[in-house]
Each structure stands twice: as C-alpha cells, then as structure tokens.
Structure 1
Amino acid sequence: MPVYKNEEKGTWYTSFYYTDWQGNRKKKKKEGFKLKREAQDYEREFVKMYAGSCDMQFKSFVKIYLQDCKTRLKQTTYSGKVFLIESKISPYFGEMPLNAIVPADIRRWQNQLINDNRNYSQTYLKTVNNQFSAIFNFAVKYYNLRNNPVRICGSMGQKHADSMEFWTIDEFRKFVACVEDKPASKLIFELLFWTGIRSGELLALSLEDFDFENLTLSINKNYARLSTEDLILTPKTKKGKRVISISPFIAELVQNYVKLKYAYEPNERLFEVTKFYIAHEIKRGCKLSGVKKIRVHDLRHSHASLLIELGYSPLLVSERLGHENIETTLRTYSHLYPNKQKDLAEKLQKLYHLDE
C-alpha cells in the first residue's frame, strides 16, 4: 500500500485504484496528510468501505448507511438521524471495526447513556437504541454481517412515556387569557387546543386551507426549519393528510385574525413564526397564568383527552388526529377511556333475562 510524500509541502498523499459498487475501476487521490501512517490508514479504510468489508471502521460504515438514507428520507428526518448518530453513537464506536462490536460493548454504552447526568427521557433512550439497531440491521441485510449485536444485547428505555400531561378546558382558558396580548399567539394556541393538529401542521397553514362556508380545515402539509431554511413538506404520515371539521368560533377567530394583517398574499403562511416561538410563548403563558407547565405537543394530548371525555370513539379520534392507524390511538390514549367491562356484563345479564 504505497503512499507518497509531497516534498514541497512536507505532507503525504495516497493515490490508488479501487472498484466501485457498479464494478467500475476508478482512481482515487487524497492529499494533505501530515503523517505517512495517516495516508496509509485512509487508503486502507477507503478500500474496505468500497469493498463492503465488515471489518471497516464503524464511522466508515455510517457513511454508507447515511448515503442510502439520504435518498429515501425527508430532509428533516435525515438531519435528525445524522445529529443523533454523530452525537450519541459515533463518539463511542466510531474507530471500532464494525464486526468487532459485541453485545458487551453495547451494554456499556447503554449504561453510560442511562446514567448520563443530562437525565435523558426513557423515550429518547429508546429512540437512540433503535437508531443504533437500524444501522446493524442494514449491515446484516446488505453487507453480510453475521448478526445484530444491539438486538442480542436488548433494548433500553421505553416506547411510551409513563405519564401524559394535558390541560383541562379551565386550565386552557386561564392560560390563553395570558397570551392574548399577542394575536398570533392567542390564535395559535386556540387552534392547537381545539383542533388537535400538530405544531408543524399549524405552522404550514395558509388561509386557503380553511373553508369557512363548510367549516372545515384541510391539513395537507407540514412545516419544518432546517438550519436557517423554512421548509414546507408533506404530512408526517399518509393519514396525516386529512380534512377536519372546525367549530364556528374557530372560523370567526381566524377571520378576525386575518383582518388584523394589513396585507395577505395567496398561499402565504398564516403564522410566520417558528416552533421556537411557540415553545417560548407556552412558557410565558404558563408563568403568567400559573397553570402547570406542559409541552406544545401536549396540547394535542389535551384535545384527544377532551374528545374522549365527550364520549367519542377511538376511530373518530384517530381520524381527527391523523394517526397512521387506530392502534396508535388506542396505545396512546387507552388509559383515558373508561372501563366499561362492568357495564357490559350488566347489559348482557339483562338481555339474558329479557324473556323471563
């Protein structure tokens, strides 16, 4: 594995041939290495990566994995995946050969995260672990890695939070009265609480999404901010694209808000703010009103709990929230539905004795 010295610059470089994934023979040159060993290591790792050898370094395989993900995921999803891998996984395993990572290594990594003084939530730990497992699943399926050591080791964290925070109508009214000094904030929280839409769906709304005659709201896009760029994307799930009914008071609130704007361009975003703004405003409103602190997403839970309290079925709640399937709704909110087992048994008893 010869490498060469650039006498003029006092650095090393490597120049070699390799075969790409299509079977084409190509030449690769890389300059600027301070040490001969660094140039040799680069060439060795590069060849392993393109040969698909499982003894390549974990960080090299991550490049292959992310390259595949980039063509299949939304920009925001991809960006989140990159951040999670680079911040929580690669610092620990980056230099290790992929096929040398064993369950004991993963167990130590899990314990380190579990005991971290940043006190990560159980759902976050689960997400990180799932991402790590996905990388090895990819290696097993496409690069002949013998097994997935994360799966052998077992999971950490849990899929759903132990408790769910939400506001009652009285708590919401106390809160919203304290943010009505900002018309945009008031309408944002009214919509989130009374419709149950996601904050990204709300921030993508334009006036054209409202049908004031038929009292409906079309959810057909999602807002996200990546670096400094505002993005309008497709809904989070297939069922996320939906039309929901709105009450007359919601229609009136929206129309009154639009009147306050001196100009409005067709298909312009109704709220030209970010998720950071909404998070700041919910903290401000909680502090002023004295109601318990909840997350912005908990307003969605508040709407769902209100519908359940009013007696609406899981199917209707699922359709209104845009869940991918009713199982998601039941798994998330089943504990809020009253236990009707006793009532069911009593009704069957009455039916049994109906002819007596």
Structure 2
Amino acid sequence: MSVYKDATRNSWYVKIRYTDYYGKKKQTTKRGFKTKREASEWEAAEKLKRNFSLYMPFSKFYEIYEADLRHRIKQTTWENKNIIITTKILPYFGERKMTEITPKDVRHWQKKMIEYTDEDGKSYSQAYLATLHAQLSAIFNHAVKFYDLKNNPAKVAGGMGSKKGGNMMFWTLDEYKKFINCVMDKPLSFYGFEILYWCGLRIGELLALTPKDFNFERKTLSISKKVRQKGGKENI
C-alpha cells in the first residue's frame, strides 16, 4: 500500500519507491490529492512512467520527452514547443494511452485544428497547422526511436497544413525609402526601422539592444540576445 491519508490536511498522498536509470533506489512523494481514487490513478500512471511502459498516458510520456529533450535545445525553443504541446495537443491526447492512440485519433485531432476559429472568426494558418502536426509527430518519433513504440500514428495519418505558408511580404528599396521619409521627424522610430531594414534584425533582437552593443569605432553592432514574451511580460 503506497496511498495514504493525510488527516491534518484532509487529503491523500502517494509514496513510490523505484530504481532509477543508474540502478539507484529512490523514493518520491506526491501530495494534495482530494480523493483516494485520484491518488491511486496518479500512482498507477506514475509507475508506468517509471518503468517506461508505453501503456502510460500520453501526458506521462510527455514528461519523459521533456526530461530527454529540454537540456538539448535552447530555452526559447523549448518554451515555444511547450506552449504548442500543452495548449493544442495535451488537451486532446493527454489521458490516452500511448499504445492506444491510432492514426484515426490523429485525423480527428487534425480535423479539430483545421476547423478551429477564434472569436474574430480567424482560423490557424497553413504554416501553423503544419507546425502543430510536426510537434505531435516528434513526440511519437521519440517514443518509436527510444522506447520501442511500434509505429508513429501521426506519420501514418499524414500531415496537415503547409510549411510554405502564405506569400512573404517585403518592401522594395523604393517602398522603404518612401516609408522612412514619413518617420524622419521621429528619431526613435527612424533609427529603429533603419536598423531593422539594413541589418536584418528581428523585432525581439532590436528591442534587446543596449548602448554596449554599439561599437562606433569599429562600426559594428553585436546581436547576442532578444526580448521574448513570457507570461505576458517581456524578458531578455
């Protein structure tokens, strides 16, 4: 028995003993369950995860995927992946067992993503739909490659959207000159757009610039950071 009642908090908690990847015996405790059933369900799913059994829920495998991948890619890259997965993929596949997700399930999910519209009636772009599918397929590929999942149902189902997306819009030199003349009386905007156009910076890179990044003697500009959104706030 590893599910216990916490009388002082009127809740349940779970203790799990397991052997880690390096053969060391460890113990973990999870508290705060409102019911014994909820605690038991978490315990069962956690044991499957600890044993790397693909009968675990998709959400539990995602925890493994995160642990395997997060330290291998940039923090901003991971955060972008995590937002997509937690908001667009986990709500649909989270509680389904990895071994039971079929290409048909993926096709149903694709249908929901393709038919989605926001409050203004706007749907996801073709490029974004392709990105959503790529993220789902990457998780299943990880399971196939490292944890012996028989096949990738997202690959069998086929993709959605298009990586090419829409046509890229850009200014010609003549168009840019017409525009920049209209903001010459606004120094901050003028120099900002000059840097964006002639140096090819992204908005986040421009916003992160400081006086130390400019070397007027060598006539160079150092790009080493960028502003990114996190929790509604801007961070460098």
TM-score band, normalised by shorter chain: 0.7 to 0.9
Q: CA contact under 8 A between 1:33 and 1:39: conserved in structure 2?
A: yes
- Relative to structure 2, which stretch is displaced further, 196-205 or 92-101? 196-205
Q: CA contact under 8 A between 1:3 and 1:15: conserved in structure 2?
A: yes
Separation of aligned partners in 1, 2:22 and 2:234: 35
Q: Alpha-carbon deviations, 1:142-185, whole Å to 9, x = none?
A: 11111111111111111112312112333323322333343121
For residues 150-169 of structure 1, the aligned pairs below 5 Å read 150-169=154-173
For residues 256-271 of structure 1, the aligned pairs below 5 Å read none
| 1:192 equivalenced with 2:183 (yes/no) | no
Separation of aligned partners in 1, 2:27 and 2:47: 11
Structure 1 unmatched runs, 5+? 232-356
Which residue of 217, 220, 235 corresponds with 1:230?
Answer: 235
Separation of aligned partners in 2, 1:209 and 1:7: 59
For residues 1-356 of structure 1, the aligned pairs below 5 Å read 1-118=1-118, 119-206=123-210, 217-227=220-230, 228=233, 230-231=235-236
Separation of aligned partners in 2, 1:154 and 1:166: 32
SS at 1:188 equivalent: helix
The aligned length equals 230
Separation of aligned partners in 2, 1:201 and 1:8: 51
SS at 2:226 equivalent: strand
Separation of aligned partners in 1, 2:9 and 2:205: 55
Separation of aligned partners in 2, 1:197 and 1:8: 57
Q: Tell me by how many angstroms 1:229 deviates.
A: 5.8
Q: Alpha-carbon deviations, 1:97-125, whole Å to 9, x = none?
A: 11111100000111111111131111111
One-letter amino acid matched to 2:225: N
Alignment TM-score, normalising by the size of structure 2: 0.87
**1:176 and 1:143, CA in 2 relative to 1: closer, same or farther beyond 3 A?**
same
Q: CA contact under 8 A between 2:137 and 2:155: conserved in structure 1?
A: yes
Q: Tell me by how many angstroms 1:219 deviates.
A: 4.9
Q: CA contact under 8 A between 1:3 and 1:40: conserved in structure 2?
A: yes
Q: CA contact under 8 A between 1:54 and 1:145: conserved in structure 2?
A: yes
Separation of aligned partners in 1, 2:8 and 2:202: 59
SS at 2:12 equivalent: strand
Separation of aligned partners in 1, 2:79 and 2:69: 10
One-letter amino acid matched to 1:221: S
**1:161 and 1:2, CA in 2 relative to 1: closer, same or farther beyond 3 A?**
closer
SS at 1:139 equivalent: helix
Q: Tell me by how many angstroms 1:45 deviates.
A: 1.1
Separation of aligned partners in 2, 1:107 and 1:220: 42
Q: Tell me by how many angstroms 1:15 deviates.
A: 2.2
One-letter amino acid matched to 2:50: Y
Sequence identity (%):
45
Q: Tell me by how many angstroms 1:208 deviates.
A: 5.8
Q: CA contact under 8 A between 1:58 and 1:93: conserved in structure 2?
A: yes
Report the RMSD for the aligned CA atoms in angstroms: 2.2
Q: Alpha-carbon deviations, 1:174-197, whole Å to 9, x = none?
A: 322333343121111122223333
One-letter amino acid matched to 2:187: P
Q: Tell me by how many angstroms 1:81 deviates.
A: 1.1
Alignment TM-score, normalising by the size of structure 1: 0.59
Structure 2 unmatched runs, 5+? none
Q: Which has the higher contact order (CA 8 A, sep 6+)?
A: 1
Q: Tell me by how many angstroms 1:141 deviates.
A: 1.2
One-letter amino acid matched to 1:223: K
One-letter amino acid matched to 2:75: Q
SS at 1:222 equivalent: coil
